[in-house]
Amino acid sequence: MTNSSEDKTATLKGIIGCSAAMQEVYRTTRLCARSSATVLLMGETGTGKELIARAVHENSPRGSGPYIRVNCGALNESLLESELFGHVKGAFTSAFENRTGRFEAAHGGTIFLDEINSMSFPLQVKLLRVLQEQEFERVGDTRTISVDTRIVAATNRELLEEVENDNFREDLYYRLNVLPIFLPPLRDRVDDIDLLVNHFIDKYATENECDPLKVPAETMQILRGYSWPGNVRELENYVERAVVLSTSGVFTPELLPPHVRGLAPVRLGIRNKKDLETLCEELVAMGIMQSTTDDADLYQKVVSLVERQLILQTLKSCQGVQTKTATRLGINRNTLHKKIEEYGLNEDVR
Q: Please, is 329 exposed, middle or buried when counting C-beta atoms within 10 Å of its C-beta (0-12, 13-18, 19+)?
A: buried
Nearest to 236 by CA among 192, 182, 188: 192
Structural domains in the chain, CATH included, are 20-184 (3.40.50.300), 186-261 (1.10.8.60), 271-350 (1.10.10.60)
Instruction: Convert the pLDDT of each residue in 5-21 to its tens digit.
Output: 344 446 788 899 999 99
Instruction: Convert the pLDDT of each residue in 247-269 to its tens digit.
Output: 999 999 999 988 888 766 555 45
Q: Which of 71-80, 126-135, 154-163, 296-305 has the lowest mean pLDDT?
A: 296-305
Nearest to 196 by CA among 228, 164, 148: 228
| CA–CA gap between residue 42 and residue 20 (Å, rounded) | 18
**Percent of the chain clearing pLDDT 90 (strictly above):** 55
